[in-house]
Each structure stands twice: as C-alpha cells, then as structure tokens.
Structure 1
Amino acid sequence: MAFAPMGPEASFFEVLDRHRADLLAALRTGGGEHPGRGTRLASRFEDSVGLQMVSHCTTRKIKSDSPKSVKKFALILKILSMIYKLVQSNTYATKRDIYYTDSQLFGNQTVVDNIINDISCMLKVPRRSLHILSTSKGLVAGNLRYTEEDGTRVNCTCGVTAIAVPSNIQGIRNLITDAKFLLIIEKDATFQRLLDDNFCNKMSPCIMVTGKGVPDLNTRLLVKKLWDTFHIPIFTLVDADPHGIEIMCIYKYGSMSMSFDAHNLTVPAIRWLGLLPSDLKRLNIPKDSLIPLTRRDQTKLDSILKRPYVTCQPYWRKEMEIMADSKMKAEIQALTFLSSDYLSRVYLPNKLKFGGWI
C-alpha cells in the first residue's frame, strides 16, 4: 500500500515509496545495503558544485536483529514516524523539539542530529522536506529586504543591530537588494565591529552575513539563496588560520557530512578576501600580534592542503604554504595594531577597490 500524499509535501511520500520499493527489491535479491555517510569515499569533488556524494557510495547496514544496531534501528524508525506525522499534518518541528519528545531515550542531541542527517541522506531530500527545522545562529545585515513565509516583511538595513537568519530559508520571497557584494564574516565580534563602523553604508551598498564560526545549515542556505537570486560577488573575511580557512571551505565547497545536499548549500564562486597570510608581512604586522600554530593547527592545515579542491586553487595553496612556513597564524583583530578602525577604514576598502581577493 502506498503512502497517501496530503498537502503540498507529496514529494516526501513519493520519495518514501520509491525508497521502500528499493529496499524490497534489495531484500529479494539478497542485498539490503543502503546509501550512508560512512566514509570519505562517499564523496567526490566537482569544481562547479563542491563536495558531492557519489551515486554508488559506501553503504552500511543497520539491522533490526543485530544487538549492535537494534537501538539505532529503533531510533531511526521512531524519528521516521515523527517525520511522517509532521508531513501529513503539514507542521514543523526543530531538532531540539524532537530530542525533547523523549530525551532519555535519545540520550543526547547529537544522536538526533545524526539520525536526521542519515534519513535526509538515505532519502536524498533536503532536511526541509522532512519538516524539520534548525534553530539559526547566524546574522544578516545590510541592503536586503524580503518577505517571510508568514507574510512578515523584513528589512536588514545596516544599523547597530542585525537580523537573525530565518529558520525557513525556502519560505522567504520577494528578495530585494541594491548591494554590490556580499561579505561573509567568520566571527560575530568582527561582524559587530563592522556594524558599529557603519561599513555597509560607508563602503557601498552591501550585505553582511556571519555564521558565528562554523556556519549552521540555515546560514549556508541563505548564502546560497542570495547567490542564486542576485549573483553578486561573494567574499569571505576569516582569520588567517586553519580554522578560518576550513570555515571558508564549508561555505564554498561544502562539507563531507552534508555532501548529499551540496547543490543546495555550496557556492563555488566565493572568493577569499582576507585575512590572507601574505597580508601579515605586507602590512608589517609585528610578531607580538601573531600566534604560533599548534600541533592541531598544523594537522588541520596539512589536511586542507591534501583536499582535491586545493589543486584548482593555486593562490590558496600559496597562502597556506606561507602560513605553514612561518608556523604563525593571526586573528583579524591583529589589524587593530595599525589603528582601531583599520579594518573598515583602510583594509577592506582597499581590498575591494583594487581586487585584493583570491
């Protein structure tokens, strides 16, 4: 018996029907393995998309009759049943909501998060199609106006406060901007400083976004939607350290864990504006303002240098090699050695005016 579609999300039921048919066919032929996110072999790099899950990826089995996986199997079924009810009733829940339906059973939030990602990967649908939302931590400010799904009109005009990234990116519409570029900022402190300096209006109309570190799903979806809608240049401003480079790579090329949804998340057109390791010497930043790379930093840097997308980014490689050779890193705040407002008054305007990105 097929699942009966109800409401606008009939596609979910169609996907579920197809997946069930695949499972039955696999069982009849003695198979039964299902696509998973088991190893790095499950993804490949494409310059136009980023890290993307391959069609015949590494699989793993979760069996109902195996003591090792019986609990995981039961939890997957429980969350699937909750998703089914959400889609049927055309209602939504956050991952946190699902966790608190039975926190003792799930144990911790990470268990729920991983299962939801597995289900999304297994069915090859975005999390939004499962009617599961994430709480946004990102912020957006600048020359941008849009209407939310419930009809609320939002104006992100740069001021002393920013707007929280909406939890339903797919539902926003009527996006309007005169912005000349979008600036992704790694850290909230830097984002707030640029807000205080009225950077959006002083430089030229622009949009600023921060994921407050590693970006959440909604922040990445927003950046992707802004790119798809306006096709304006997108730049990143991150610390000159391996962690900052990693964050930039997530926006640009995606992550292994979300490679199954790369088409909805990655923006390969993103450019690295700063802080470049080569800027530190060019601007004569004193050693006292620099920080030695830790062993963990060096391991992270070595890992990034081995990634497939670095081969098509020779200038990135050169910057990372400068960092590796110097064994030093720097935060954006190191620019305050030159002056308290050097970032917004000199560094960014010059970079944007003279094409100082890679």
Structure 2
Amino acid sequence: MAVNEEFWQTLDNFRATILYSGDLEAPATVPTRSQDHSREVVKRCEGIIEGVVASLARGEPPVLRVPRPQSQVYRLVGTDSYATRRDAFYEFVWLYKTQSTLDRVAEDLTRLLGVPRRALHLTATGKGLVAGCLRYTTHDGTLVDASQASNGVGVPECVAGLTDIQTDSRYVLVVEKDATFQKLLETHFLRSFGPAILVTGKGYPDLNTRQLVFRLRRDLQLPVLALTDADPYGLHIAAVYKFGALAREESGLSVGSLAWLGVLPTDLRSLQLPAHALLPLTPKDHGKLASLAAHPALSRHPAWLRQIEEQFRIGCKAEIQGLTHVAPDYLTITYLPTKLKMGGWVA
C-alpha cells in the first residue's frame, strides 16, 4: 500500500486536533536553567545548608546534616554539567558502597528539594532506541543524525541537554518491542511511510525514553502514536507514555495526546487470528487490567476503558508477532498503513 494524500490527511487532521486541545506547550528553544529547574535546585541546596549553619550558630543541633553526596549534585547543577549515576557512584564508591545506595540518596534528594529527578543533573544510560528523520545536538556538542543508523541510535543520556532538534517528520511512532522496531527498519517502513520517527523503550520505557518522546511532541509539535501488544502489559506500556506511571509521576514525561494505534483488543476479532496465535488471559492478566481500569487518569477515558472491557470479554490476548499468522508481512504492508490511513487509533 503506497502513501497517498488521504494517508497524510488523516494524520494532519489528528495533528490539528491536538494542536488546539491545550496539550501542547510552547516549543522549546535552547534549554535554559529555568527550564531544567537548575536555579531552583541551587537555591534550595543553599537554603538547606544555610539552615544548618544558622542552627549551629545558635548553638542548636542542626536540623539536617548535608552529606557529601549532595555536594555532587550542587556542583553538577551549579556548573550546568551532567553525570551518569554510575559515574557519580564511582566518584565516591567508598562512601556509597553500592549503586542502589546512590539511587536511594538521589530519590530522597528529589523529595527533599521538591524537584524532578532529572533536575539533579544525574542521568542514566538509556535503554531505548530512536530512528528516522531526526537530528539533534547532545549536551556535550555531539551532532547526531538518527537517519544514518540502520538499527537506530541509543536514546541520549541527557535528554534535557539536547539542542537544535530538527526533523522533516510528520509523526512519531512509539513501538513497544525492539524486535518490532528492528522489523520496521529492516522492511524499510520509514522509506515507504515516512518521513517519521520511530522510538522504542524495549518494553516498559525508562525515564530517558519517555522524556525524549515528550520533547519530540512538545518541541516538534508532532502527533505521537503507540504500537504495542494486544495484552494487558501492552496496554499498560501505552498508558505509561500517555498518562504516566501509576506511582509518583513527574512533569515532562507523559504525552497526554498520544494515541494507541494498536494492536487493540477490539482489532482481534476482525484480524481473525488462528486459535494458536491467541493466548488465554491469566489471573495475573486479570489483575493488571483491573488496576489499569482504576488508574485515575485512564478511568476518565471511555475509549481506553472500552479496550479493557473488550479484553476482559474475549478473555484472550495476542502479541504483535501474531500478525505474521495472517501473512508474513501483514504488519508492515497492510495493518499499520491501513490503521494510519483510516485513523484507527484510540486517543
């Protein structure tokens, strides 16, 4: 199926809808200190230290003892530089002893300062990949052109530090699995149905991948669609990108206008997959669906609740790879192009 004007018209209509939905923030230019909370982190660190000094000057026990690990964050934020959590651990390995100790300290510090985790300038090595028509400059000045990588490039460690983000793409497709991501690249999906950007978090996405998808949405003003398995965990992964995590959530990570393209539970009947391509829901699956239905944000979206209800009703699930039972290239030749052309998504 070749791309025609109707294909792009459907996506452009979707983009126009979300442009005026209030979901978009103003496109970011070069990140500033106010944007990544740097000034606020410095101010609050200094305030905590001043409080300790004042207590000592009055001859009172200090309310809070500021340990050395926090001075790492103060130095990073003060100099507008970044370090991976792994590098921070090895700098004071004698103090932390284990990586998990540093991770707990960083988490406690975000709660103490009341800022997002990324505001500490401690980054993590991303597990996700990005491919397609996308160019950007990393925080250390490296120029990256994702279109030149046949298997995608790693999601950058410091998404907040990206500058000069450029693209000719008209949509972003977030893919649950790396295997599907690679399959789309191998079959030249981007050549046939681009320009577009592909992103995968290789399952449940890490913070870097979620932050990158958010920036692509905000800075480039592109519609974002998700492709996952038609099972409770695929639904959950799509929901994480759209609504955020069930636990504590930070701003700048979720894309409220994201649309779940498929594979939808409501697609399974029309796909007519053979019985061996469908798996029965397990008790754990039922519990996952129930918890998702109770998600405060998801529960306010009837279209998403309908997918949960349909999965309960049919009592089975299917993976993206199950589409090969229809035809080996059914996903790339028929399913995705048709869904994109007809607007067959859940927003």
The alignment's TM-score, normalised by the length of structure 2, stands at: 0.79
Task: Quote the Cα distance in structure 2 between the aligned partners of 1:285 and 1:24.
Answer: 69
**Closer, same or farther in 2 for the Cα pair 1:354/1:154, shift >3 Å?**
same
Does residue 150 (structure 1) correspond to residue 140 (structure 2)? The answer is yes
Q: What number of residue pairs does the alignment pair up?
A: 305
Alignment correspondent of 2:326 = 338
Task: Quote the Cα distance in structure 2 between the aligned partners of 1:313 and 1:23.
Answer: 48
**Closer, same or farther in 2 for the Cα pair 1:238/1:142, shift >3 Å?**
same
Which of 184, 201, 210 is the aligned partner of 1:194?
A: 184
Q: Which amino acid aligns with 2:42?
A: F
Give matches, 1:274-313, under 5 Å.
Answer: 274-313=262-301
1:288-345, CA deviations, whole angstroms, 9 ceiling, x for partnerless residues? 1011222211111111011122332111111111111222111100000011111111
Which of 181, 194, 202 is the aligned partner of 1:204?
A: 194
Alignment correspondent of 1:171 = 161
Alignment correspondent of 2:308 = 320
Task: Quote the Cα distance in structure 1 between the aligned partners of 2:206 and 2:231.
Answer: 20
Does residue 229 (structure 1) correspond to residue 219 (structure 2)? The answer is yes
> 1:167 offset after TM fit, Å?
1.0
Does the 8 Å contact 1:305/1:317 carry over to 2?
yes
Where 2:164 maps in the other structure, the secondary structure is strand
Alignment correspondent of 2:256 = 268
Does residue 84 (structure 1) correspond to residue 84 (structure 2)? The answer is no
Q: Which amino acid aligns with 2:301?
A: Q
Where 1:267 maps in the other structure, the secondary structure is coil
Task: Quote the Cα distance in structure 2 between the aligned partners of 1:24 and 1:301.
Answer: 52
Does residue 348 (structure 1) correspond to residue 336 (structure 2)? The answer is yes
> 1:163 offset after TM fit, Å?
1.1
Alignment correspondent of 2:244 = 254
Does residue 116 (structure 1) correspond to residue 106 (structure 2)? The answer is yes
**Closer, same or farther in 2 for the Cα pair 1:107/1:151, shift >3 Å?**
closer
Where 1:86 maps in the other structure, the secondary structure is helix
Moved more, 78-87 or 165-174: 78-87
**Closer, same or farther in 2 for the Cα pair 1:113/1:206, shift >3 Å?**
same
Task: Quote the Cα distance in structure 1 between the aligned partners of 2:204 and 2:239.
Answer: 10
Task: Quote the Cα distance in structure 1 between the aligned partners of 2:52 and 2:298.
Answer: 38
> 1:80 offset after TM fit, Å?
1.6
> 1:107 offset after TM fit, Å?
5.9
Where 1:308 maps in the other structure, the secondary structure is coil
Q: Which runs of 5+ in 2 are unaligned?
A: 1-36, 55-61
1:141-178, CA deviations, whole angstroms, 9 ceiling, x for partnerless residues? 01111222333221111763211111111221121112
Task: Quote the Cα distance in structure 2 between the aligned partners of 1:168 and 1:268.
Answer: 22
Task: Quote the Cα distance in structure 2 between the aligned partners of 1:323 and 1:168.
Answer: 38
Where 1:200 maps in the other structure, the secondary structure is helix
**Closer, same or farther in 2 for the Cα pair 1:235/1:143, shift >3 Å?**
same
Alignment correspondent of 2:29 = none
Q: Which amino acid aligns with 2:168?
A: D
**Closer, same or farther in 2 for the Cα pair 1:286/1:82, shift >3 Å?**
same
Alignment correspondent of 2:30 = none
Q: Which amino acid aligns with 1:184?
A: V
Does the 8 Å contact 1:159/1:195 carry over to 2?
no
Alignment correspondent of 1:15 = 44
Q: Which amino acid aligns with 1:148?
A: T
Does the 8 Å contact 2:172/2:224 carry over to 1?
yes
Task: Quote the Cα distance in structure 2 between the aligned partners of 1:128 and 1:254.
Answer: 16
Task: Quote the Cα distance in structure 2 between the aligned partners of 1:207 and 1:177.
Answer: 9
Task: Quote the Cα distance in structure 1 between the aligned partners of 2:49 and 2:261.
Answer: 47
**Closer, same or farther in 2 for the Cα pair 1:102/1:154, shift >3 Å?**
closer
Alignment correspondent of 1:160 = 150
Q: Which amino acid aligns with 1:12?
A: V
Q: Which runs of 5+ in 1 are unaligned?
A: 1-7, 26-63, 66-72
1:34-83, CA deviations, whole angstroms, 9 ceiling, x for partnerless residues? xxxxxxxxxxxxxxxxxxxxxxxxxxxxxx99xxxxxxx98x83432332
> 1:217 offset after TM fit, Å?
1.1
Does the 8 Å contact 1:200/1:206 carry over to 2?
yes
Does the 8 Å contact 2:265/2:311 carry over to 1?
yes
Task: Quote the Cα distance in structure 1 between the aligned partners of 2:51 and 2:276.
Answer: 61
Q: Which amino acid aligns with 1:13?
A: V
